[in-house]
Amino acid sequence: MGEYSIARDEAVEAAILDVLKNYGEVHSLESLHQLVTRNLRRHHPRAVVSPERVRRRAALMEGVRFQVEKRRSGREARRCYVCGGQLEPFETIDVYGKRTPSGRRCRDCGFRIEKRGYLPRRYRFYLG
């Protein structure tokens, strides 16, 4: 078996920025992971990084924006699907001034889940 090394956070973030500068936007987590891994291996041939780690690092980076296409599911979110952070409820105020619970928002990355029972289907990453 070949040896590998886990890429440092700084190297992963630099690779994410480099990929997004070159491509403008990436339309799936799988594509972003492949492009970041390819970029990392130019400098560190045995570097590895998981798709989940690429997603979390990108979501928490300044200047990187993301959109999440969602699909129905029977499960309730316990933690943020994007970065793994805590979810807190948020409310909206209608035209009459009444507060209405609208969903949950991540404290760390700002991801919102407006309705119950939705899971991410596809991620889109871009520079903002």
Domain residue ranges in the chain: 5-127
**CA dist., res. 103 & res. 85, Å (int):** 15
Q: How many CA atoms lie within 13 A of 56 on its CB side?
A: 11
pLDDT in tens, 69-127: 999 888 888 899 999 999 999 998 989 999 988 889 999 999 998 877 788 999 999 99
All residues at 6 or more sequence positions from 87 whose CB lies less than 8 Å from its CB, including other chains: 77, 78, 79, 80, 104, 105, 106, 107, 113
Contact 68, 58 (CB under 8 A): no
**CA dist., res. 94 & res. 107, Å (int):** 23
- Mean pLDDT, residues 17-25 taken together: 97
